[in-house]
């Protein structure tokens, strides 16, 4: 089973850059999208149906903003829209699909880059995601949390870490949250297979950052320890350029 997480930074813009052709070629069993920036009715969703996907969209109430979607070849048993807190669900940030042997969560975590209230909003979101997952773990053994976390966990996950002290996305409290989340029974699937530096999933559009590989690794598949022995591969498709992010992939034995 191949699962892809991808912040497309606007699904309609990505489609204009060849996203559909890429999706058909890559043919994941499940793809979790973040920052689709679209309501379902704003595009022709039949193209995804023709590729064999059941589609689940959770869009922000503000058009052209945030929003997540899950496309899956296997129909879920149940789909849960939102985390249950209005200020987060208003922005379309959290979508969960339950299958027979696992649960997958697709989340677009806030960035906090403007500081102030938005950084507080981000930290509050982190708090409530942890509470939600803690509660979910009581009855659900196998959880996969895909998405754009907007956090670089360790210095190896960001270019020139010494230049990013005090920057949202690399703040000590954000990184500590991710450490604690992993310690609660999860694994960073990519680092099971690749512990090298300069492996990133997002690059600023400014100053030729992508060409210089001045990136951040902020997109993850965080997976329950119970599934560790079933994870066969995890990698970053850093040559795919429909967005300022690139897709990240995990492969799991059924």
Ordered by where they begin, the domains of the chain are: 2-252 (3.60.10.10)
Tens of pLDDT along 183-192? 999 999 999 9
Helix locations, the chain, DSSP H: 11-16, 19-26, 46-50, 86-89, 117-137, 172-183, 189-193
Tens of pLDDT along 142-156? 999 999 999 999 999
User: Between the CA of residue 140 and those of 63, 72, 173, 240, 254, what are the distances in Å?
Assistant: 34, 20, 27, 34, 17
State the greatest distance between any 2 C-alpha atoms of the chain, in Å, as a whole number. 47
> Can you give the pLDDT at residue 1?
98
Side-by-side strand order, sheet with 78-81: 78-81, 94-98, 103-108, 143-148, 219-224, 186-188
> Can you give the pLDDT at residue 114?
80
> Can you give the pLDDT at residue 188?
98
Taking a C-beta distance cutoff of 8 angstroms, is the pair 87, 121 a contact?
yes
Which sequence positions are flagged as catalytic?
148
Q: Which residues pair with 33 in a beta bridge?
A: 6, 69
- Rounded CA separation 176/182 (Å): 10
Taking a C-beta distance cutoff of 8 angstroms, is the pair 189, 234 a contact?
yes
Q: 178 φ, ψ to 5°?
A: -65, -40
Q: Hunting for tokens 């949390």 — which residue is that?
A: 145
Predicted model pTM: 0.97
Taking a C-beta distance cutoff of 8 angstroms, is the pair 21, 31 a contact?
no
The two tokens of residue 184 are 């609660």
> Can you give the pLDDT at residue 207?
86
What stretches in the chain show pLDDT beneath 70? none
The two tokens of residue 147 are 């998405």
The two tokens of residue 83 are 């985390």
The three-class DSSP label of residue 210 is coil
**E strand spans, the chain:** 2-7, 30-34, 54-58, 68-72, 78-81, 94-98, 103-108, 143-148, 186-188, 202-203, 215-216, 219-224, 231-236, 248-252
Eight-class DSSP state of 87: H
- Rounded CA separation 192/189 (Å): 5
- Rounded CA separation 195/97 (Å): 30
> Can you give the pLDDT at residue 23?
98
> Can you give the pLDDT at residue 239?
97
If we measure between CA atoms, which residue out of 65, 63, 36, 64 comes closest to residue 55? 36
């Amino acid at each position: 089973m191949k699962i892809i997480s991808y912040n497309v930074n606007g699904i309609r813009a990505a489609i204009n850059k060849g996203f559909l052709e890429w999706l058909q070629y890559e043919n994941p069993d499940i793809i979790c999208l973040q920052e689709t920036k679209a309501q379902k009715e704003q595009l022709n969703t039949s193209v995804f149906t023709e590729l064999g996907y059941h589609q689940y969209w959770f869009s922000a109430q503000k058009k052209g903003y945030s929003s997540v979607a899950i496309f899956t070849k296997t129909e879920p048993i149940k789909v849960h829209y939102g985390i249950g807190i209005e200020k987060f669900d208003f922005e379309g940030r959290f979508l969960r699909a339950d299958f027979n042997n696992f649960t997958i969560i697709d989340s677009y975590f806030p960035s906090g880059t403007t500081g102030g209230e938005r950084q507080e909003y981000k930290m509050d979101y982190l708090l409530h995601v942890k509470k939600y997952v803690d509660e979910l773990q009581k009855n659900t053994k196998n959880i996969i949390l895909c998405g754009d976390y907007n956090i670089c966990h360790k210095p190896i996950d960001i270019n020139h870490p010494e230049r990013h002290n005090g920057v949202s996305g690399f703040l000590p409290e954000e990184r500590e949250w991710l450490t604690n989340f992993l310690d609660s029974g999860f694994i960073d699937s990519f680092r099971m297979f690749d512990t090298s530096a300069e492996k990133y999933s997002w690059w600023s559009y400014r100053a030729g950052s992508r060409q210089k590989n001045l990136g951040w690794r902020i997109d993850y598949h965080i997976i329950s320890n119970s599934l560790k022995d079933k994870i066969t591969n995890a990698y970053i498709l850093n040559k795919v350029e429909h967005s300022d992010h690139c897709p990240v992939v995990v492969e799991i034995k059924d």
